[in-house]
């Protein structure tokens, strides 16, 4: 595939709001192009962005008169659909019709949740690496597809979709890059899965790409980001990379992810320009979950884990002493002489955004996951809110009679917060609106 003529990047992106008696309207501007959508906001405050997202969290869908084309989406390493949720919301606000054509993840139950919420023409739980054959010569700036094996799809169903997909999403396994991984960090075999994304994009002729990962992915020993950038450049894509931070976008969580966005022959809006254009003051954690503080416990999304006597005492101590960090004498023996993980067993601050959620949010010993105003850890519903999933999101896999707490925690904790996927989607879709 030979590079096509470059189209100058749309260097700016911004949003604004206006309120009338019936609706709250949000406007996105990409260069000289403006696009508007609205939601009903019967009880508006002076926090327009907060009203907009609150409407979203309870299930409101934006209305727009500026109808665009259908966006056919494929996703690799999809999980239960966090990245897709953010992209779908961006599509709705810009007047696109989000259509899931393909999704792949080794977790078949997560795929069931994905399909139940987003639909998909075709799903597979086989390894993503088995969907494509390719060989790469060199690394980073010296990388190229080997003439002995340029990217070729090996899955017949995916091959049938080649040339029909508009946007490829991917969240390759990030455990190998995570700063929490002290064993194989930066040099983990799972890191190589990142390179399946450009291979499938090129083999399936997909013109737009969004890849997300932990911020430390840029330090990978095998230079997977730089290699991907070079392989896409040679195939005619223009690429932007950068870090998006949920709290910098006004969301009540301090989570950050690294994004690579690419468009074939056109330039995506720079990630940094998206981040600057959408910058807003972060809301606090109670903005997202304050109304759930006293919701009754159930066996679904409002379930609460059984706590050991020691952990009950630790949580009670935080509230009895009006503290947010647990004293050393209350910690396990391995912490008594000091610890660098001071947030562990900690209580959230009610006037601040939530810390980065992990799969351990239902366990006090895994982070600062004690509720800010109630002596307990977060429920799955509260964590899902903090991650940006609306209350209407369906978490029970159609293939499983019961979704275990451990599985819910993994799905929710590993997900990409909706505002991050939403912002990344603007990078590629905003360009589409101006061409």
Catalytic positions = 174
| DSSP code, position 36 | E
DSSP 8-state class, residue 183? S
Residues 6+ apart with CB under 8 A from 403: 109, 395, 396, 397
> Any idea what the Cα angle at residue 204 is, between residues 4 and 123, rounded to 5°?
150
The DSSP string of 169-216 is: EE----TTT-TT--SSTT--GGGGGGGHHHHHHHHTT-SEEEEEE-GG
> Interior CA angle at 255 toward 93 and 197, to 5°?
70
State the sign of the Cα–Cα–Cα–Cα dihedral 36, 37, 40, 42: negative
Nearest 5°: phi and psi at 256? -130, 145
**In Å, what is the CA distance from 201 to each residue of 4, 84, 278, 433?**
16, 17, 28, 21
How buried is residue 307: exposed, middle or buried, by Cβ count under 10 Å (0-12/13-18/19+)? middle
Q: Which residue has the tokens 């990630």?
A: 271
Rounded Cα distance, 384 and 83, in Å: 13
Nearest 5 degrees, angle CA 251-CA 319-CA 336? 95
């Amino acid at each position: 595939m030979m590079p096509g003529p470059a189209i100058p990047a749309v260097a700016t992106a911004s949003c604004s709001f206006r309120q009338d008696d019936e609706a709250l309207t949000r406007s996105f501007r990409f260069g000289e192009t403006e696009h508007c959508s609205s939601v009903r906001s019967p009880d508006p405050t002076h926090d327009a962005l907060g009203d907009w997202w609150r409407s979203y969290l309870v299930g409101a869908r934006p209305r727009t008169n500026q109808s665009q084309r259908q966006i056919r989406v494929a996703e690799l390493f999809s999980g239960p659909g966090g990245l897709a949720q953010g992209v779908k919301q961006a599509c709705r606000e810009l007047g696109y019709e989000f259509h899931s054509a393909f999704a792949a993840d080794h977790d078949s139950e997560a795929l069931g949740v994905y399909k139940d919420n987003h639909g998909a023409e075709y799903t597979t739980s086989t390894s993503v690496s088995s969907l494509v054959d390719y060989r790469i010569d060199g690394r980073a700036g010296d990388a190229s597809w080997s003439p002995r094996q340029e990217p070729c799809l090996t899955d017949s169903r995916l091959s049938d979709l080649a040339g029909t997909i508009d946007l490829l999403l991917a969240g390759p396994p990030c455990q190998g890059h995570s700063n929490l991984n002290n064993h194989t960090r930066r040099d983990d075999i799972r890191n190589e899965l990142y390179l399946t994304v450009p291979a499938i994009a090129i083999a399936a002729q997909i013109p737009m790409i969004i890849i997300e990962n932990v911020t430390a992915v840029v330090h990978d020993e095998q230079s997977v980001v730089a290699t991907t950038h070079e392989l896409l450049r040679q195939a005619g894509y223009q690429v932007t990379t950068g870090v998006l931070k949920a709290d910098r976008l006004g969301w009540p969580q301090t989570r950050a992810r690294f994004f690579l966005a690419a468009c074939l022959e056109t330039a995506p809006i720079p990630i940094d320009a998206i981040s600057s254009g959408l910058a807003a003051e972060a809301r606090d954690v109670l903005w997202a979950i304050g109304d759930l503080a006293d919701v009754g416990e159930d066996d679904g999304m409002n379930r609460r884990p059984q706590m050991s006597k020691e952990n009950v005492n630790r949580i009670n101590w935080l509230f009895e002493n009006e503290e947010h960090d647990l004293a050393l004498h209350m910690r396990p023996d391995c912490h008594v002489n000091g610890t660098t993980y001071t947030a562990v067993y900690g209580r959230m601050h009610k006037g601040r955004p939530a810390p980065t959620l992990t799969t351990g949010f239902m366990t006090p010993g895994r982070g600062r996951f004690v509720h800010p105003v109630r002596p307990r850890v977060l429920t799955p519903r509260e964590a899902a809110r903090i991650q940006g999933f609306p209350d209407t999101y369906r978490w029970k896999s159609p293939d499983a009679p019961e979704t275990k707490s451990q599985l819910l925690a993994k799905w929710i904790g590993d997900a990409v917060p909706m505002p991050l996927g939403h912002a990344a989607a603007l990078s590629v879709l905003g360009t589409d609106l101006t061409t």
